[in-house]
């Protein structure tokens, strides 16, 4: 029975993720492997890979330096709005990457709100990466600090340790594994990100993922693109393995007596809380606010309404909604089947559950390019496009559903079965109502991800299948202030659409201590 349940998601992963990677392996390795190793002899491609690693490292370091103090403040102090702020940290997971890129441009690009033109520099990309990934470090730090033993901290203070020394000797060692896991995840997202790098990096600071797209779409150099994609897949896989190893260590249950949060009493403590809130407002809120400020002139002179009334915008909106709806239905089916089969498959459940994270390891660019090589005759077909969309999103549902199934009391289902209920009736009447909130959360993140999908749309689309993300990219590629204003208005529309979809599906909201995974 578990194997039968796993048949559909297993075939889905093999066809949409494993087979394209195998095709890339054949393309990148070449006849004798010379092409594979030859990448490091090409100064240009070597520079792209090294820059990809450098920007990911700098972005991760910036997130850690900013995130650790923020996490300490949120873990140790109780103040009005704390829970709301922790929920607001989920905003980067909901906002499409292209919208975030437009926010950074509106803030620090040409004629930006701050009056600082950072275009042509690498810092725009790093700012965008920090916007997207700071919440990972903050949440990991808060979770770790809430598991620090209060008795150990009290013992250290009793023996004369200052608060600073108690932090380094007691709290910091407890935080390190959690921060290491979050840092691996942040590094992975920055390394495999596409939308931010394409818009904010430009040609001069293009990452390897952007270079793969350029080689395929503009130069038709499929051999070079295959080699580069294969190397990036290996690098992403190494980081993902490190993350999985650390996560397995953190999964070991540990008893702890957490420190209770207290209201900030001294002036320095109140200043620390205000500084933390201001930092999060600037990093997480300013780019999105900048979009609104830059789009306001378009509202005043009627440009916004002209853009929204264009047939191209209507077509892009329709394509975005229908592709996302079809992919969401497929992702729901695959995610639920994956989680249920992993729960029932005792012997291989852990391995099968880990298989749900394969789409997070393989970047959308790699998936799309692999499919382009594997089935070139199908690359402009609607079923393949929808399936690729669903591949990127269904791990959200599988992860949320799997965690909810793990938390279910087993005696409820056993009691129902004893009373004569069939497995289907047990699932429909007991299991599904209990896991429904988690399923809605996973579905909400999956929907927001598909609405903002960009890389797959660039590779596996037709001219008449333009989505909002590709339309924004087209506007950015045209000169003139009017096109920039139109791109900002379309970004605001896409952001509103993603937020509305998330709120309608997710409902009551996600608990503050839960963090999903996603592609950057």
- The predicted pLDDT at position 253 comes to 53
Distance CA 393, CA 330 (A): 10
φ, ψ (nearest 5 deg) of residue 77: -115, 145
Coil, strand, or helix at residue 77?
Answer: strand
Q: Is the pLDDT of residue 304 over 70?
A: no
| Nearest-angstrom CA–CA distance, 139 and 53 | 24
Range among 165-169, 218-222, 294-298 with highest mean pLDDT value: 165-169
Please give the residue range of the domain that contains residue 82: 2-27+44-506
Is residue 372 situated within a structural domain? yes
- pLDDT for residue 419 is more than 70: no
3-state secondary structure of 198: helix
Q: Is residue 225 part of a domain?
A: yes
Residues 93-120 have a mean pLDDT of 79
Please give the mean pLDDT across all residues of the chain.
80
| Higher per-residue confidence, 327 vs 458 | 327
Of 177 and 295, the one with more pLDDT? 177
Q: How many CA atoms lie within 13 A of 448 on its CB side?
A: 31
- What is the Cα–Cα distance from 458 to 473, expressed in whole angstroms? 10
In a domain, 469, yes or no: yes
Task: Give the phi and the psi of residue 148 in degrees, each rounded to 5.
Answer: -70, 135
Encoded tokens for 336: 């639920």
> Is residue 515 pLDDT above 60, yes or no?
no
Q: 438, 400 in Cβ contact below 8 A?
A: yes
Q: How confident is the model at residue 327 (pLDDT cuts 50, 70, 90)?
A: very high
Confidence band for 506, pLDDT divided at 50, 70 and 90: low
Q: How far apart are CA 165 and CA 172, in angstroms?
A: 10
Does 39 reside within a domain? Answer: no
| Predicted local distance difference test score (pLDDT) of residue 319 | 92
Is 516 contained in some domain?
A: no
User: What stretch of H or E contains 209?
Assistant: helix 208-217
Q: What is the mean pLDDT of residues 219-247?
A: 79
Q: What is the CA radius of gyration of the chain?
A: 24
Max intra-chain CA distance, the chain: 72
Q: In the predicted model, is pLDDT for residue 519 greater than 70?
A: no
Question: How confident is the model over 182-222, as pLDDT tens digits?
Answer: 898 899 888 888 888 888 887 888 898 888 888 887 777 77
- Looking at the predicted structure, is the pLDDT value of residue 32 above 70? no
Residue 510 has a pLDDT of 47
% of the chain exceeding 90 in pLDDT:
9
In angstroms, rounded to a whole number, what is the distance separating the alpha carbons of residues 279 and 285?
9
DSSP-assigned beta bridge partners for residue 286: none
- CA 218: distance to chain centroid? 27
Question: What pTM was estimated for this model as a whole?
Answer: 0.80
Distance CA 20, CA 516 (A): 25
Report yes or no: 142 and 74 within 8 Å, Cβ to Cβ: yes
Tell me: pLDDT of 79 over 80: yes
In angstroms, the CA 476 to CA 314 distance is 18
pLDDT at 251 over 60: no
Q: What are phi and psi of 439, to 5 degrees?
A: -65, -40
pLDDT tens-digit series, residues 343-382: 776 656 567 777 777 887 787 888 888 888 888 888 778 8
DSSP one-letter code for 262: B
In sequence order, the 6+-apart residues with CB closer than 8 A to the CB of 135 are 89, 90, 92, 93, 284, 515
Cα gap 393→277, rounded to integer Å: 31
pLDDT of res. 189 = 87
Sign of the CA dihedral running 158, 163, 165, 167: positive
| C-beta of residue 60 within 8 angstroms of C-beta of residue 262 | no
Residue 262: φ, ψ to 5°: -130, 155
CATH number, residue 128: 1.10.3720.10
298-302, 385-389, 407-411: range with highest mean pLDDT:
385-389
Task: Assess if residue 346 is contained within a domain.
Answer: yes
Is 519 within a domain? no
pLDDT of residue 56: 93
The predicted pLDDT at position 465 comes to 86
Q: Report the number of distinct structural domains present in the chain.
A: 1
Residue 513, pLDDT > 50, answer: no
Residue 454 and residue 470 in contact, taking contact as beta carbons nearer than 8 Å? yes
- 98 in any annotated domain: yes
CA pair distance 327, 120, nearest whole angstrom: 36
pLDDT band at 325; cut points 50, 70, 90: very high
Share of the chain above pLDDT 70, in %: 86
Predicted local confidence at residue 59, as pLDDT: 94
Nearest to 488 by CA among 106, 74, 69: 106
């Amino acid at each position: 029975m578990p194997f039968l349940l796993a048949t559909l998601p297993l075939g889905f992963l093999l066809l949409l993720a494993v087979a394209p990677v195998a095709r890339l392996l054949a393309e990148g390795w070449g006849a004798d492997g010379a092409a594979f190793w030859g990448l490091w002899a090409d100064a240009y491609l070597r520079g792209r890979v090294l820059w990809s690693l450098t920007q990911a490292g700098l972005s991760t370091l910036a997130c850690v330096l900013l995130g650790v103090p923020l996490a300490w403040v949120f873990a140790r102090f109780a103040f009005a709005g704390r829970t709301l702020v922790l929920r607001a940290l989920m905003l980067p997971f909901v906002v499409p990457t292209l919208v975030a890129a437009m926010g950074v441009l509106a803030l620090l690009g040409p004629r930006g709100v701050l009056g600082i033109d950072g275009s042509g520099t690498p810092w725009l990309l790093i700012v965008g990466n920090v916007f997207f990934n700071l919440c990972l470090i903050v949440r990991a730090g808060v979770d770790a600090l809430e598991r620090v033993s209060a008795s150990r901290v009290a013992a250290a203070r009793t023996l004369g340790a200052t608060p600073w020394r108690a932090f380094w000797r007691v709290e910091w060692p407890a935080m390190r594994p959690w921060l290491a896991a979050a840092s691996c995840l942040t590094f992975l997202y920055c390394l495999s990100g596409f939308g931010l790098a394409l818009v904010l990096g430009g040609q001069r600071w293009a990452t390897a993922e952007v270079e793969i797209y350029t080689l395929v779409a503009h130069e038709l150099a499929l051999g070079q693109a295959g080699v580069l994609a294969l190397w990036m897949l290996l690098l992403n896989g190494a980081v993902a393995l490190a993350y999985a190893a650390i996560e397995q260590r953190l999964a070991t249950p540990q008893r702890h007596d957490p420190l209770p949060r207290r209201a900030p009493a001294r002036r320095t403590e109140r200043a620390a809380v205000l500084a933390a809130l201001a930092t999060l407002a600037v990093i997480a809120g300013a780019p999105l606010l900048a979009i609104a400020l830059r789009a306001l002139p378009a509202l005043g002179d009627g440009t916004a309404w002209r853009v929204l009334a264009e047939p191209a915008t209507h077509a892009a909106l329709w394509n975005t909604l229908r592709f996302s709806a079809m992919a969401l239905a497929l992702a729901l089916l695959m995610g639920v089947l994956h989680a249920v089969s992993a729960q029932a498959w005792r012997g291989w459940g852990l391995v099968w559950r880990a298989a749900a994270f394969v789409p997070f390891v393989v970047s959308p660019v790699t998936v799309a390019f692999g499919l382009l090589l594997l089935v070139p005759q199908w690359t402009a077909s609607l079923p393949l496009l929808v399936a690729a969309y669903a591949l990127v999103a269904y791990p959200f549902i599988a992860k949320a559903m799997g965690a909810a199934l793990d938390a279910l009391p087993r005696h409820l289902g056993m009691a129902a079965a004893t009373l004569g209920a069939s497995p289907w009736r047990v699932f429909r009447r007991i299991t599904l109502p209990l896991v429904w909130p988690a399923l809605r959360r996973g579905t909400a993140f999956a929907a927001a991800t598909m609405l903002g999908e960009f890389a797959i749309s660039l590779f596996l689309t037709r001219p008449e299948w333009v989505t909002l993300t590709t339309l924004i990219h087209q506007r950015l590629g045209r000169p003139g202030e009017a096109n920039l204003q139109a791109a900002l208005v379309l970004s605001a529309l896409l952001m509103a659409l993603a937020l509305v979809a998330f709120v309608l599906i997710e409902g009551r909201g996600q608990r503050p201590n839960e963090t999903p995974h996603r592609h950057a």
